Structure 1
Amino acid sequence: MTRSLLTQANERRLRAIASTADSQRRAFEQYLTPPETAAYAASMFNASSGNAISCLDLGAGSGMLSMALIDRFGAEITLTAIELDPVLARTCSDELCSTGVRFEMLLGDALTIELKDKFDKVILNPPYSKMAAKDSRQELLPVKCANLYAAFVVLAIKSLKDNGECVAIIPRSWTNGDYFAPFRNWIFENASIDWMHVYDSRKEVFSDTNVLQETMLVKLSKRPQRHTIKVTESHGKNDAVSESNYPANELICGLKRKKVVRIKPAEPSLISSMQPLSELGMLASTGKIVDFRSRDKTCSEPGPNCVPLVYSCNFSKEGFYHPVDAGKMQWYRCQEPKDEKLLIGPGAFVVVKRFSSKEEQKRIKAFAFFPEAPIALENHQNYIHCGTSRNTIPLEKETAKGLSIWLNSSIIDSWFRSVSGSTQVNASDLNQIPTPSTSQLRNLSTRWTAKLTQKEIDIICEELINE
């Protein structure tokens, strides 16, 4: 097949984008795959053995991924395509008719259509939105899925023949966090992660449909986990690609049923011997005040039974300030005894902002925090203490100071970037961060001030690991 197939498919794709309202594309999550990404996805499949190949395109859109498969494997394939939008289904059918390849177009919801056959290869760029726990389609899946894209990947694996292959264009968010833990564990038990391609740019891959998403391509096969995983990286869809191969047990790692998928192994000479934070008697939890659900209890001025309401904007490199003029209510009114159970303090804690993007200089932003009276911590912060999920107990002050230095180091920034696939800094990820012993943290605390520079922090932490 010639490259004109993808050129032709891209012309139809661009017409479909131009003729579809943004509101409809959002409703159907029609982030149609550009030709460069489609071609790379198809290239991730193993070469043909010369036999006929049965292929499935889940959520086919305008047909770009189907055309990429045909471009890669030619007339050897038979293709089944599923699409929910009847307009795009017709566009896809027109594309496939022009190739002479045998195909079947199924119109409807991929999660509810019953497929009679198993396939050698499945390719997909699924919708990304959340999937409610009460969604009736959950009952059709072998594992509860937090997002539609996870459900589509599960369906793809189920639809494969033994040793069949799937390539999915999906967000990187599945690789870490409790939210996707059931999905990850199902993948570990039912498939092999063979190859991950990661894009450094969140904007460039779907630039003509205004998608801001940390996107990856992942190749899975229906077989036990291979011993090695290939990892490739590029800035965008047209840029040079770097390649590495890692032992699978260095990328699939973590505690029991909370394993995560890394894109790079931990640096063995630096922190691999350190215990996770949670095994040192400390715990990361999430702030308990969801402000938009507590509007009747938040206020701009202090009054009876009010305590400070603390947001990310109350922390800066210079320290903690309250109240501040940042467009956020700064006080929380305790109206009932149960409200007091949501408070933390007095004592020592480490507060970590819950959201940061990969473009920021630092992903983890930690602050040693010493409230002298109870405060209300808003939900966009994590806080580290030495209690349980139901019972907050403050840290020792020296431990909090030393831990804040460690979490702000470039060593931990590098570790976290290799694990995190979303803008969230999950408490579950913080709990797995390799952490020095409490005695080492106390030693770090002797160097603590609220105004340490990044260079000073890194020197302090490098001295610790090189002792």
Structure 2
Amino acid sequence: MSSLVDVANTVGRAFTATLTREEQRAMGQFMTPPAVAVFMAQCLVASATQTTAKVLEPAAGGGILAAAVVEGLLAKPQAERPRRIELLMYELEPRLIDGLKALCQQMRVACEQCGVEFDYLIRNEDFLLSELALLGQPLPGLLTIANPPFLKLNKSTDRRAALHAYAVHGQPNIYALFMAATARLTPPDGGWCFITPRSWMAGAYFKAARRTLLQHLTIDRLHAFESRTEGFEEDAVLQETVIAWGNGRALAEPGANILVTRSQGAGDIATAGIQALPLARVVSADEHAMFSLPAHDADPFEGWTATLKTYGFEVSTGPVVAFRATEHIREHGGTDTVPLLWLQHVRQQQISWPVQKKREHIVATAESAWMLVANAPMVVMRRFSPKEDERRVTCAAYLGQLPGPVVGLENHLNYIYRRNGTMTPNEARGISAFLASHTVDAHFRALAGSTQINATELRKLPLPPLDVLIQIGEVVGENPTLATIDTVVSEALALTADQQPNNMNVVAG
């Protein structure tokens, strides 16, 4: 006899087989692989002790996660097994309802064979518009498990965003609303488990959702899929995904750890190594409450309290928005133009201009002055880098070598400059090398799966002493290789650690 998980997987796959890739993306409907579903459920039910277990799957699809939870509960020793399971599933797609009903009938049979009462309710409606979600009151014994749809919402027209405004900041994604709404339902004796893209863990758009999660949950376990393709391999989802588990105790115990595991995909989950990391290493204590997944137990930044602002530097986004500045941008230079730098002009530790592939000049007049910056030393970096790049940050020290009193920076670039003064060449070289180093690369890869390094993350980045950054700039020279950078940065940080015997964790591992 097929397992409940296998039955649910067959239902889900049969449905997605009827969809085109465009339809699947429009629905945000990606089915959870069986091995991942079982892994999620096993961890969720491991400490479940409810006499009556209430199971919620708010975006059911084929019901594979609910099936995995029911199987996990029935597999527990008889003394720990619930006497009754009450299952509630929400699914908006009407074509999946009959399959869910058939699955629930098989769940009933499996429960009866184990002497467990079983009842279920399937609602063919949007969970986010349901009375349960809008009321937001904890349900005793609730175990929530979900793989919600991945869709951006228009917060000005989609009432789901308005009804869950407590979890909305900037451009919302529907999966974050599912996470936040169910967090409010989770009681102290309940559990919560989601598989989603990693993007909720950092960045301003998910700030409100993170705060809601931490207000109602203690996140006690995380699992990261390192490959963008192997988490949902059958659906070819190009996302770094993460599984998060939590319980309804919003205040974590002093000295609490978060268990962190990693695998490439579903195939190597069973052999994933485990880290037990202090909560403070994973969740920042400031208003942003960003999550990170550090690769090493030791924190190479421990003891560093300085940031760019400490040293008088600021980070901004390039002010030239091309489609709004069309009348000022030129393909060929003239007496009234200055260089315009785009993403393509910034290579790792090198500015290459012109490249003859863009409109690389911008008119410099009083009318366009507001979108131009002083032609002075700064660090220029790409806001987006291909995932396959060796380093997450692609940046270069710009020393003012291009002609003109000002230059243009297109909006897909960030730049670091001294607000009330001029950055020195060695400061520019040192900061650029530090940002491109393996130490900082590991930090940003732990912080988010996204390839975007936003200004908020740069402003929060802990920095070593300024004289160390200047020393790095003096040694690396012009256009250094990454190998040179790593050697110079490691030696500089090791020397700093030697000078601070009470702070040995400064050294990068």
TM-score, normalisation: structure 2: 0.84
Asked if 1:151 is matched to 2:181, the reply is: no
Task: Within 5 Å, give how 1:40-439 maps onto structure 2.
Answer: 40-45=39-44, 46-49=46-49, 51-74=51-74, 76-100=84-108, 101-115=118-132, 118=139, 120-134=142-156, 135-141=158-164, 142-145=166-169, 146-223=172-249, 224-226=251-253, 227-239=256-268, 240-253=271-284, 256-264=286-294, 268=298, 270-274=300-304, 275-303=306-334, 305-317=336-348, 319-326=350-357, 328-333=358-363, 337=367, 339-371=368-400, 372=402, 373-387=405-419, 394-439=422-467
2:498 corresponds in structure 1 to none
1:94-128 per-residue CA deviation (whole Å, 9 max, x = no partner) reads: 22223214211111221111127725111111122
Shift of 1:36: 1.3
Alignment partner of 1:461 out of 489, 495, 505: 489
Asked if 1:25 is matched to 2:24, the reply is: yes
In 1, Cα distance between equivalents of 2:287 and 2:361: 39
Equivalent position amino acid for 2:456 in 1: S
Shift of 1:460: 1.1
2:11 corresponds in structure 1 to 12
Shift of 1:64: 1.3
Look up the SS of the partner of 1:276 in the other structure. Answer: coil
Shift of 1:377: 1.0
1:142-183 per-residue CA deviation (whole Å, 9 max, x = no partner) reads: 332521111110111112223421100111111122222222
Please tell me whether the aligned partners of residues 59 and 81 of structure 1 are also in contact (alpha carbons under 8 angstroms): yes
Shift of 1:33: 1.2
Gaps of 5+ in 2: 75-82, 109-117, 496-509
In 1, Cα distance between equivalents of 2:201 and 2:9: 30
In 2, Cα distance between equivalents of 1:102 and 1:335: 73
Work out the percentage of aligned pairs sharing the same amino acid: 27
Look up the SS of the partner of 1:257 in the other structure. Answer: coil
2:111 corresponds in structure 1 to none
Shift of 1:357: 4.6
Please tell me whether the aligned partners of residues 43 and 72 of structure 1 are also in contact (alpha carbons under 8 angstroms): yes
Moved more, 449-458 or 313-322: 313-322
Look up the SS of the partner of 1:261 in the other structure. Answer: coil
1:275-322 per-residue CA deviation (whole Å, 9 max, x = no partner) reads: 233333222221122324444443322246433221121123573222
Equivalent position amino acid for 2:252 in 1: Q
Moved more, 118-127 or 108-117: 108-117
1:408-439 per-residue CA deviation (whole Å, 9 max, x = no partner) reads: 11111112211123111111111122212222
Please tell me whether the aligned partners of residues 283 and 291 of structure 2 are also in contact (alpha carbons under 8 angstroms): yes
In 2, Cα distance between equivalents of 1:258 and 1:99: 42
Equivalent position amino acid for 2:290 in 1: V
Moved more, 35-44 or 311-320: 311-320
In 2, Cα distance between equivalents of 1:393 and 1:28: 51
In 2, Cα distance between equivalents of 1:186 and 1:57: 19
In 2, Cα distance between equivalents of 1:317 and 1:161: 49
In 1, Cα distance between equivalents of 2:385 and 2:203: 15
Aligned residue pair count:
459
Shift of 1:37: 1.3
Please tell me whether the aligned partners of residues 60 and 90 of structure 2 are also in contact (alpha carbons under 8 angstroms): yes
Equivalent position amino acid for 1:225 in 2: A
CA pair 343-217 structure 1, distance change in 2 beyond 3 A: same
Please tell me whether the aligned partners of residues 187 and 247 of structure 2 are also in contact (alpha carbons under 8 angstroms): no
In 2, Cα distance between equivalents of 1:440 and 1:24: 53
In 2, Cα distance between equivalents of 1:460 and 1:195: 36
CA pair 297-124 structure 1, distance change in 2 beyond 3 A: farther
Look up the SS of the partner of 1:382 in the other structure. Answer: strand
Please tell me whether the aligned partners of residues 32 and 62 of structure 1 are also in contact (alpha carbons under 8 angstroms): yes
Equivalent position amino acid for 1:65 in 2: L
Look up the SS of the partner of 2:475 in the other structure. Answer: coil
In 2, Cα distance between equivalents of 1:98 and 1:29: 27
Please tell me whether the aligned partners of residues 346 and 382 of structure 2 are also in contact (alpha carbons under 8 angstroms): no
1:348-377 per-residue CA deviation (whole Å, 9 max, x = no partner) reads: 110121123554311112200123531211
In 2, Cα distance between equivalents of 1:29 and 1:269: 37
Look up the SS of the partner of 2:30 in the other structure. Answer: coil
CA pair 262-306 structure 1, distance change in 2 beyond 3 A: same
Shift of 1:86: 0.9
Look up the SS of the partner of 2:287 in the other structure. Answer: helix
Equivalent position amino acid for 1:205 in 2: G
2:114 corresponds in structure 1 to none
Please tell me whether the aligned partners of residues 174 and 421 of structure 1 are also in contact (alpha carbons under 8 angstroms): no
Equivalent position amino acid for 1:156 in 2: T
